[in-house]
């Protein structure tokens, strides 16, 4: 029986999520599986990959073949590197302590890199939001200034007419007083 580590689709249309499962290679994609070892959500940035590294490592060491996508995920999380180090221990090339130390160092660097990407994405999103807000504020101020200028022009145009009306009223009053 050939065993594969692969993805089983779930989730609604155009919002797929996947389970990372260990299954017989003859079973259908979303069908029967031996064990579920994690989940994968490609809709987030960076993609959310959550799986039990110990179970994945055990299955890899037992000979389970990952699909291309799952192989990339296992490599991203260090399971394949750990297998490589473990094979070195089995052959006697390095000791278990050295292998554990190398894996711990690699894991620390990888986690820092992933956290750096999350921070960068969050910062970039905040900067883009601030830039959009500044542009909207500038447009709003320009519109308000144009409205003020329009009102001032209307008042300036109405002021001479009002002055002429006052002059005409004053003239009419003086004429009435003179005629009375």
Whether residue 109 is preceded by a cis peptide bond, meaning omega within 30 degrees of 0, is no
Q: DSSP labels for 143-156?
A: HHHHHHHHHHHHHH
Render pLDDT for 29-68 as a digit per residue (tens, 0 to 9).
Answer: 888 889 999 999 999 877 888 989 899 999 999 999 999 9
Measured CA to CA, the distance from residue 150 to residue 15 in angstroms comes to 51
Residue 11 backbone phi and psi in degrees, to 5:
95, 170
Render pLDDT for 121-178 as a digit per residue (tens, 0 to 9).
Answer: 878 888 888 889 898 999 999 998 989 888 888 888 777 766 677 777 777 777 777 6
Residue 179, pLDDT score: 63
């Amino acid at each position: 029986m050939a065993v594969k580590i692969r993805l089983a689709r779930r989730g609604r249309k155009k919002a797929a999520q996947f389970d990372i499962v260990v299954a017989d290679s003859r079973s259908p994609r979303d069908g029967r599986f031996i064990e579920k070892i994690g989940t994968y959500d490609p809709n987030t940035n960076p993609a959310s990959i959550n799986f039990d590294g110990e179970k994945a490592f055990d299955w890899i060491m037992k000979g389970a073949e990952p699909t291309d996508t799952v192989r990339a995920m296992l490599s991203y999380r260090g399971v394949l590197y750990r297998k490589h180090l473990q094979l070195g221990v089995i052959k006697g090339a390095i000791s278990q302590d050295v292998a554990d130390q190398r894996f711990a160092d690699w894991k620390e660097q990888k986690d820092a890199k992933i956290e750096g990407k999350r921070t960068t994405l969050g910062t970039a999103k905040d900067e883009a939001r601030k830039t959009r807000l500044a542009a909207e504020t500038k447009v709003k101020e320009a519109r308000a200034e144009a409205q003020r200028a329009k009102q001032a022009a209307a008042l300036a145009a109405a002021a001479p007419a009002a002055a002429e009306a006052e002059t005409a009223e004053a003239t009419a009053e003086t004429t009435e007083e003179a005629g009375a």
